[in-house]
Structure 1
Amino acid sequence: MNKTLIAVVLASLSFGVFAQQSGFVSPDNTGYTQGGFKGPTPGLSNIQQAKSLRDDSWVVLEGNIVRQIGHELYEFRDSSGSINVDIDDKRWQGQSATPSDKVRLEGEVDKDWNSVEIDVKNIRILK
């Protein structure tokens, strides 16, 4: 009985060691990375580009929220045009913006049959 218990304990401890070693292998085969992905990130887009992307594509936009259209629905504008953005109340995280404030929005393109809007996941007021 004691040998069985010792074998189970040793097996579970060694499994934990092997489980911690898994992760993303970098393309240059330098080993495992710890702490998240290291590589290219989505660059800054504009509204014209965002409208041509596939549904659920990730975008980063900078411009101004010019008006509120409805609850959690706003018009956003940059130098290439305007688009409706859906910003859940929780995404504001205590920040306030006016039409003259430049903001950075990160989110997903949300395409329906005849409309395109951005589902905002993160908003930051730029100084």
Structure 2
Amino acid sequence: MKSTYLKPLVMAALLLPSFSILAEGGQPMGPQQGYTSMTLTEATSAADDSLVSVRGYIVKRLSDDEYLLQKNTDSLIVEIDDHLWQGIQITDQHEVQLQGEIDQDWDRTELEVRWLKVLTQ
């Protein structure tokens, strides 16, 4: 009788880690392959739908999920959905690394962030 209850528990324990690394929509969390590291200026002129990785400082909140990312004199608008923050608290003194997809509109360029990491504490 005990082995009947033990098998489902063992299976659940084995499967749980594989589910914990998935974000909303079944997308893996963490840095991904295929993203090109570039400066904010390069990202601003990158082709629509390019997968890019950038670093900088979030210096201003523009709207509910849009922020201004700066490094030196370069800047880029980034869109960060609430679920990506995962309770992270930052100031404009924290350098971050962001990975996402470039969205080129007729009037501006923005990075739709898929992953973020705080580089400085």
TM tier relative to shorter chain: 0.5 to 0.7
> What is the rounded CA distance, in whole Å, between the counterparts of 1:41 and 1:79 in structure 2?
26
TM-score by length of 1: 0.65
Task: Quote the residue 2:104 is aligned against.
Answer: 111
Asked if the contact 2:40/2:76 (under 8 Å) is kept, the reply is yes
Larger Rg belongs to: 1
Cα offset for 1:43? 4.0
Describe how 1:45-124 pairs up with structure 2 within 5 A.
45-79=38-72, 81-124=74-117
Structure 1: runs of 5+ lacking an equivalent: 1-39
Q: Which runs of 5 or more residues in structure 2 are unaligned? A: 1-32
Alpha carbons 1:45, 1:61 under 8 Å: kept: yes
How much is the aligned-residue C-alpha RMSD, in angstroms? 1.4
Q: Return the structure number with greater relative CO, CA threshold 8 A, min gap 6.
A: 2
Give percent identity, aligned residues only. Answer: 33
